[in-house]
Amino acid sequence: MQRRYTGVTAAVAALGLTATLSGCGTDGGSGGVTLKLVAADYGTGAENSSKKYWDDLVTTFEKTHPGIKVDVTVHSWKDVDREVADMVKRDEAPDIAQIGAYADYAKAGKLYRANEMLAIRTESNFLPSLSEAGKVGSALYGLPFVASTRLLFYNKGLFAKAGIDAPQTWDDIGADAEKLKKSGVTYPFALPLGQEESQAETLMWLLSGGGGYTDDSGTYAIDSAANVETFQWLRDDLVGKGLTGPVAPGKLDRAKAFEAFTKGEVGMLNGHPTLMQDAEKKGVEVGMVPLPGPDGPTEGSMGVADWMMGFKQNGHRKEIGTFLDFAYEDTNVLAFADAYDLLPVTGSASARMEADRKQKKLHDFVAALPNSQLYPFGKTSWAQVSEAVKEKIGSAVEPGGNPETVLGNIASVAREAESAE
């Protein structure tokens, strides 16, 4: 991994000396332009709202680019995608949006391609796996903004009290959860399959069972035999044995599961870097391992990326590019990643994080990112499929639930949505 990043960084450094801009300027444009940027809030409250990051970034940018103003609005993750969609429907699209999906806007012809906005050195610096996930066809429209990977988290204190070690297989998870339950742990294994972000929890388990949302050719394979077997195991060996706590998985949202973990009420759950930070602040000693599979640790990991995009409506291509080139400088990328214990999306910033001993706690997550598997973001059908997963997947693990039927229903939604693309 280090060699890979070193190559990217060297290429970027070389390009930076001679790069010509692909349609964007660096002198602040012709003046008098105000860019409208809508962004998601990664904070948990006013004290750590993402608005502080954007305010600082914009203040610095405007000092060195007096011809461009940037007006930033920050919305919660529950609202931001809908807010942008409503703006687009009203023909009031922002110039820049930092949200969770881009494919619908790209296929509708509403977005600039990356090479219409960014300097070559900026576009070439994105991690290859993330660049691929940001494409529709062969063109990059979704610019990765921040990323994370997932690992299995466990409470070291509760594990020590129960006399158990970190799990490596599904059988280990079941055995450890039994002992945690006997020692009085409220949620031996928290399994959030409620509507908040169950599409992520689902993908982690599908990957651990050797499946996924799509097959190797990129075709939806949601009701594959491997996926059905995974959810049968969850239904029978975790939920059916009362090892997932007092709230039914289909009713448990990720935020509630994470909150319970920080309170010391959860033995195990799938987590991301921000949870590690929050738990340690509350005095929970966190252990982390790759998500176990049937026969051993899962080789791949689920990766998640959020996206930046530039809208064509206001015609501010040059100014958008100038701002984004600035936003993707290492210092700015790392500042946001540091604030929320997330991962940088560029090769040069990733290399700097890997070399920083102060960031050692994130090194396992950084190492997992290049080989991680992301949602099929480039499919316009994915938004509809994701909603179907959120709505239906919890019922697959209910007592008497039928994973084959539930996954088959979601697969039908996927096929219909994809045929309409």
Q: What is the pLDDT of residue 421?
A: 67
Distance CA 288, CA 309 (A): 33
Inter-axis angle of helices 330-340 and 347-355, nearest 10: 60
pTM as predicted: 0.78
Q: What CATH number was assigned to the domain covering residues 151-300+381-419?
A: 3.40.190.10
Q: What is the pLDDT of residue 293?
A: 95
Instruction: Encode burial over 85-110: b for 16+ CB neighbours within 10 A, e otherwise.
Output: bebbeeeebbbbbbbbbbbbbbbeeb
Tens of pLDDT along 362-420? Answer: 888 888 887 788 999 888 899 889 999 999 999 999 999 999 999 999 999 999 988 87
Number of Cβ within 10 Å of residue 311's Cβ equals 23
Pair of tokens at residue 270: 């799938």
**Which class would CATH give 2-148+303-371?**
alpha beta
- Identify whether the C-beta of residue 91 lies closer than 8 Å to the C-beta of residue 66: no
| DSSP designation for 187 | E
Residues of the chain with CATH 3.40.190.10: 2-148+303-371, 151-300+381-419
Output the tens digit of pLDDT for each of the chain's 421 residues.
Answer: 322 223 333 333 333 333 333 334 333 344 589 999 999 998 877 888 999 999 999 999 999 999 999 999 999 988 999 999 999 999 999 999 999 889 999 999 999 999 999 999 999 999 998 999 999 989 999 999 999 889 999 999 999 999 999 999 999 999 999 999 999 999 999 999 998 889 999 999 999 999 999 998 889 999 999 999 999 999 999 999 999 999 999 999 998 999 999 999 999 999 988 888 889 889 999 999 999 999 999 887 888 899 999 999 999 999 999 999 999 999 999 999 988 888 999 999 999 998 988 888 888 888 888 778 899 988 889 988 999 999 999 999 999 999 999 999 999 999 998 887 6
Find the distance separating the first CA and the last CA of the chain, reported in whole Å.
36
Q: What is the mean pLDDT of the chain?
A: 90
Distance CA 222, CA 212 (A): 7
Location of structure tokens 């693309």: 421
Q: What is the pLDDT of residue 278?
A: 86
φ and ψ of 126, to 5 deg: -65, 145
φ and ψ of 354, to 5 deg: -60, -35
Tens of pLDDT along 206-228? Answer: 999 999 999 988 899 999 999 99
